[in-house]
Structure 1
Amino acid sequence: MACGALLASACAGMPDSGDVEAVKASNAGDSQVRVYAVAPRDNADPEEIVDGFLEAMTSDDPGFATARKYLTKRAAQSWKPEQSITVLTNAPHRGQADRPGDPDNEGRTFPLTGRRIAQVDVRHAYRPEVPSAFDTGIHVVQQPVGDGKTKEWRIDSLPPGLVLGEADFLRNYRAVNKYYFASDENWVVADPVYIRQRQDPVTRMDPVTQTVKALLEGPTKWLGPAVDSRFPSGTELARDVRSLAPDDQSKLRIPLNGKADRVSGVVCKGMAAQLLFTLGDLTSVRVEQVEILGSGGTSLCLLTKGQAEQEYSPVREPGRGENPYFVDDRQRLMTLEAGGRQPDKPAGVPGPFGKGTVQLGPVAVNRTEDRAAAVLDNGHELRVGSLTSDEELPEAVVTSVAPRLEDRLSAPSWDGRGDLWVADRNPVKPRLWLVPGGQGERVEVGTPWLRDGTRIESLRVSADGVRIALLVTRDDRTTLQIGRVGRGVVDGHEEITVKDLQDAAPRLESVTAVSWAGPSRLVVVGTEAGGVQQVRYVQTDGSTSATSVLPGLNGVTSVAAPYADQSAPVVADSGNDGVVRLVPGANWQPVAKGGRVPVYPG
């Protein structure tokens, strides 16, 4: 399909035949729409040059060759669209150019404005921002062409990288999780990035190859200090590999350069596991096994998807179903058998928390579902008890002396290591505690940001134990922050810290509740400025999509989602309506009128 000489702007078609129509950037969020760049026409005025370039940035043109035709020779050589992406709420707005006071100055500067909401760096990492003014300029000059006597307007100064409206960004790019190993551990951690939906204009690689290349480049800057890659430093795809596709047995062969030739079998299987988990996020291909090839084409190792999940998943027994828990109106811990014959009928649990003899506050069930932790109703004590036997409830593992209930212990959370986390919200001395194994001596977690009136409202630790979702109140605003968990040994003692908090939902004015809903996805309850409460999914990197909002539900105070079993329901505490559940494709359904504080293991 060709655009011909329509306008100095892009045009789109779907499919690749039929009529051609001009389109405005950011009008189409459909990822199937293709935008084709058009070269500048002869004698185009400065406004057409700027508008045409802005449209051409949204295209799939190989090498952005057409977009470069709007630039001077020097600017075309120095412009690096792969270095960064500035994401705006809408397509950048081109204002009117200034008029030079000096007649000999033929240049024009056009203001370029919008609302910036995110940046994507050279490692493909998406970083959201509180919406703020984007205000820059594009400068055009007259450049000699042809015989040197004729001049055409061209851009000689422009913003770095790409500048795209959110709809164009989501049409051209898609979220993918890369996977690396938690430092000194044998399970993987998700590292979300964005790659091109189709062939990358710069590398000419298809999405599968782009994804593998991004994995080999290493983790994003934020996650890097907490993870390791099994690929030796300098490992790259074999030269000139632009396309990768599985065979009819769903086996994908990955040819690498010589850096990987001498790895051991154990290391090679770890490399294959990283590839299998990473490629599992690409719905366009089905990869059931990966074979890694050395520089000479010889096979270094082969790993199947099932083996990778069994050996390297952060969730033990990854094939097992997930069941939610909640506290009923008789102070008993109950469970819902999500995959059972009566998935909406609660069942009691064994052990001291299932008897109704203690006043339960918020609870957490460990990931092997053999123990639970509960803040007793007065908020002063955190206790851990069995879910398999009627043993007596042990003494508290953490206590709070804060005078007010709301300043005492937060809801607890278990990580995949089996360690238990809880926050003491006492304003006199706020702390974040970790209890090793749920029964060892508590360890104070380093939180250099927990000062000057900052308060942890609630927390949820990821299954891999590397990331923690925190609801943090500062200056009367509660936001969703993702922190990176660091572990080390100082003077013979383990030192644990939570550092480098990043806002995962900057466009929400306030956040009420959060739960992990997958390796890099969260379900949150919050409100936008001037809006109503909503339940929606967000990525840990802060990105969202138009389809992430769940059906409306009023008065939600807590929410819980399954980690791996996407057929299991989302459950919520809806205040007066008690515990309700949401199965895929349906609406919210009541479960327990007097129920509260629902949780999934974790």
Structure 2
Amino acid sequence: MKARRTDGATAGATAVRAAALGGAGLLLAGCASMPTRGEVRPVSATQGADSQVRVYGVPPAPNASPSEIVGGFLEAMTSDDPQLSTARQYLTAEAAKSWKPGSKVTVLSSGLGRSPEKPDKLDKQPEAPRFKLTGDKVATVDERNAYQPEPGGVPFEQHLQLVREGNEWRISELPDGLVLSESDFQRIFLPVNKYYFASGTLVADPVYVRQRTDPDSRMDKTTQTVQSLLDGPSKWLAPVVNSSFPTGTALRDGTKSLSYDAQNTLRVPLNNKADNVTEPQCRKMATQLMYTVRDLTSSRVARVELVHSDNKSVLCGVDESLAATIANRVPAARHQYYIDQHKLLRVSLPSDPEQSFEQAVPVGGPLAGAPQLKVGTAAIAYEEKRAGVVSEDGHSLYTVSLTTGGPLPAPVQTSRVKDGLSAPSWDGRGDLWVADRDPQHQALWRIPGGTGTPQRVDVAGLDGRRIEALRISSDGVRIAVLLSTGGARKELYVGRVERPEAADGGKVSVRELRPAAPQMADVTAMSWAPRGRLLVVGRESEGVMQARYMQADGSMVAGSLPGANGLTDVAASEDEKQPVVAYSDADGIVWLPPGAQWRTVSAGGSAPVYPG
């Protein structure tokens, strides 16, 4: 392994990495010199995001120049030192005490550029040299650990002020929080979901915590995640969810680490704000915790128990089965659906992904006896007893039963133009959503219960863009939309669905659209995926077509699906054990079982969907 270094690295800007290899430790280090004046020097990003790599800063060398102090500090800021103790050695005593690296994180597309504001005076040892830091900001992580992307990048500029402290140069003024490249951010921070309730259903709220001990709180990643849950939802999601934890609930003082016992039970000690909760409320609290921590360990979390502030008695506990009941998630899909020769077909999902596929069969109900209706797109309600289907010409949307025969009902929504209606989408509350792309009457519509009077949904922030496609999340509080400005290029956004109480007389609306795939120049297709993520098919600027998972906050999940070229439709089940299904121009309907390769289900067909 090569030593960590920067362009023109200094003795103080050297990092030491330790990597676990077959149980043995490997430790390497390297040093070089840096010019003390001249042009802007970028601080290079860590090569890759290997979570097994640990980076340690090197303390400032005696009589280090101002430029060496700046370079060493920026490098040490990316280290895994507890409390970032090495980085603090580059600061004055006062700055070291006041600096709060955990207050926020600024994420840059690459390393920081740095340059002295008056390079001609550096050789003359000015009283207070000042350095300008520059870069392209792609995101920030706020005090609640929420990731907020900056589409297209935003110029970043901050300053570091140096002064003499004793006989050494030290930094006296610096930006709040941390400033990291994307690769360093991915190495240091871990994406996790914390969970809150919306109308009795759990909703994922994605955040980032440090992979190792947090330098401010000294908490491990599990404890950081639990504390973030107790602190409350992210600002973006807060208007539409609630927490079962009483206001002020926190971990018992001194809790820095949470661990599992031999039976995979996690015991969480709380302060006295939670001492008097009722049993039903306590179980909802424990359910939020169960879903929040279950992805943080390779072993299965069997049980979560909440502990009284006396640290002796247990307030309550839930196991997987009880938590699943309280979480009120949508039922698991039993079939996958697609359209072939304008007919809606279904395929039974095998219990084992390696099993052969069953033959696709036409769905029942009015569609079985309605040869006059050519189906163009469809959405299946989560209970799999109803479907929303749009006619092949895109004029009409019908809600039909899949279990009871009879004549084709009247359409529940129509458009005035050909191909006006988008593919529909169901939420877990039983409402059907569709967009009308008529240039003169563009609108997002919600059909309550699938058959009620259509209600126009106000979407804030469209700014003249048109909704080309949509997918409402199963929890009904987030909607993914593909937006265009009239051309072929489409961008993916996620909006928050706000539903006023009936007594308020307000209408359902979509607020605070935020980019969900800012790295992609054009998005072709998308679907909601397990754990509140999105599966997105798109192309980066001048890149190849790819399919990859994204967090709903717009951050990228490592890795992409194999062989994504030619995909124009994609669908994922709420159950990650089920295969991804897609339409390929070359192969028709294809499945991607977990850990396997694409398999052709039907050479014909189009528009594959799971319930939702």
Same fold (TM over 0.5): yes
Cα drift, residue 557 of structure 1: 2.1
Q: Which residue of 2 aligns with 1:148?
A: none
User: In structure 2, what is the equivalent of residue 386 of structure 1?
Assistant: 401
Query: 1:199–1:284: structure 2 CA closer, same or farther, 3 Å change rule?
Result: farther
- Correspondence 1:66 to 2:86: yes
Q: Superposed, which structure 2 residues align to 1:200-599 within 5 Å?
A: 200-284=214-298, 286-297=300-311, 298-316=313-331, 320-329=332-341, 331-339=343-351, 341-343=355-357, 345-354=359-368, 357=371, 358-402=373-417, 405-406=418-419, 408-450=420-462, 452=464, 454-474=465-485, 476=487, 477-489=489-501, 493=505, 495-547=507-559, 549-564=560-575, 566-599=576-609
Conserved? CA contact 1:138–1:155, under 8 Å: no
**1:55–1:391 distance in 2 versus 1, CA, 3 Å:** same
In structure 2, list runs of 5 or more residues that go unmatched: 5-9, 32-43
Q: Cα–Cα, structure 1 residues 401 and 99, in superposed 2: closer, same or farther, change >3 Å?
A: same
Q: Secondary structure at the match of 1:418?
A: coil
* SS of residue paired to 1:14: strand
- What is the CA deviation profile of residues 268-290 of structure 1, one whole-angstrom value per residue up to 9, with x for unaligned ones? 11101100010112134532111
Does the CA-based 8 Å contact 1:322-1:600 persist in structure 2?
Answer: no
> How far 1:336 sits from its partner (Å)?
4.3
Query: 2: distance between equivalents of 1:63 and 1:551?
Result: 40
Structure-2 residue corresponding to 1:42: 62
Amino acid at match of 1:508: M
Q: 1:355 to 1:339 in 2, by over 3 A?
A: farther
Pick from 83, 88, 110 the counterpart of residue 108 of structure 2.
88
CA distance in 2, matches of 1:344, 1:52: 62
d(CA) in 2 for partners of 1:342, 1:330: 25
1:125 matched to 2:146? The reply is: yes
Question: Residues 522 and 104 from structure 1, CA distance in 2 versus in 1: closer, same or farther, beyond 3 angstroms?
Answer: closer
Question: Mean Cα displacement is larger for which, 587-596 or 281-290?
Answer: 281-290
Q: CA, structure 1 residues 10+25, in 2 after alignment: closer, same or farther (shift >3 Å)?
A: farther
- Structure 1 residues 237 and 216, CA gap change in structure 2 (3 angstroms): same
2:339–2:606 CA contact under 8 A, matched in 1: yes
- Is 1:9 paired with 2:19? no
Q: Deviations over 1:336-371 (max 9, x none)?
A: 424375326423322233457120011000101111
- C-alpha deviation, 1:126, in angstroms: 0.7
In structure 2, what is the Cα distance between the partners aligned to 1:112 and 1:525? 35
Farther-moved stretch of structure 1 (29-38 vs 216-225) = 29-38
**Which whole-Å deviations, capped at 9, do the CAs of 1:393-431 have from their partners, x for residues lacking one?**
2111111113xx23x111000000111111111121211
Q: How does 1:13-162 map to 2 (within 5 A)?
A: 13-15=18-20, 17-22=25-30, 25-95=45-115, 98-99=118-119, 105-145=126-166, 151-162=167-178
Q: 1:85-115, CA deviations, whole angstroms, 9 ceiling, x for partnerless residues?
A: 1112223233456336696843323332333
1:439 partner letter = T
Supply the distance in 2 between the matched residues of 1:175 and 1:19 (Cα, whole angstroms): 28
Deviations 1:199-238 (A, max 9, x none): 1111111111111100000000000000000101000100
2:213 aligns with: 199
Tell me the amino acid that sits aligned with residue 388 of structure 1: T
For 1:439 and 1:105, locate their aligned partners in 2 and report how far apart those are by CA, in whole Å. 75
> In structure 2, what is the Cα distance between the partners aligned to 1:231 and 1:587?
43
Equivalent position amino acid for 1:584 in 2: P
CA pair 153-131 structure 1, distance change in 2 beyond 3 A = farther
**Which secondary structure state, in structure 1, belongs to the residue aligned with residue 546 of structure 2?**
strand
1:175 pairs with 2:187: no
Give the share of equivalent positions with the same residue, in percent: 46
1:166 aligned residue: 182
Distance 1:414 1:494 in 2: 21
Contact 1:178 1:277 in 2 (8 A): yes
Once the two structures are overlaid, the 10-residue window that deviates more, 244-253 or 220-229, is: 244-253
Residue deviations 1:302-328 (CA, integer Å, cap 9, x gap): 111211112213213xxx454321011
Mean CA deviation greater in 127-136 or 195-204: 127-136
From the superposition, tell whether residues 309 and 490 of structure 1 become closer, same or farther in structure 2 (CA, over 3 Å).
closer
**More displaced 10-residue stretch of structure 1: 72-81 or 133-142:** 133-142
Contact 1:522/1:539 (8 A) holds in 2: yes
CA RMSD of aligned residues (A): 2.3
Q: Is the 8 A contact 2:14 2:30 kept in 1?
A: yes
Superimposed CA distance per residue, residues 454-474 of structure 1 (whole angstroms, 9 cap, x where no aligned partner): 211011011111101111113
For 2:121 and 2:302, locate their aligned partners in 1 and report how far apart those are by CA, in whole Å.
66
- 2:410 aligned partner, one-letter code: E
The 8 Å contact of residues 551 and 557 in structure 2, kept in 1 or not, is answered as no
1:458-516 Cα distance to aligned partner (Å, 9 max, x none): 11011111101111113644211101010114666462111110001111111111101
Contact kept? 2:193, 2:207, Cα under 8 Å: yes
Q: Hey, what's the Cα distance between the residues in 1 that align with 2:278 and 2:251? A: 19
Letter matched to residue 296 of structure 1? D
Q: Are 2:522 and 2:539, in contact at CA under 8 Å, matched by a contact in 1?
A: yes
Q: How far is 1:18 from its partner?
A: 4.0
Given that residues 347 and 358 in structure 2 are in contact (C-alpha distance below 8 angstroms), is that contact kept between their aligned partners in structure 1?
Answer: no
CA distance in 1, matches of 2:62, 2:213: 30
Which one is further off, 575-584 or 65-74? Answer: 575-584
Q: Secondary structure at 1:215's aligned position in 2?
A: helix
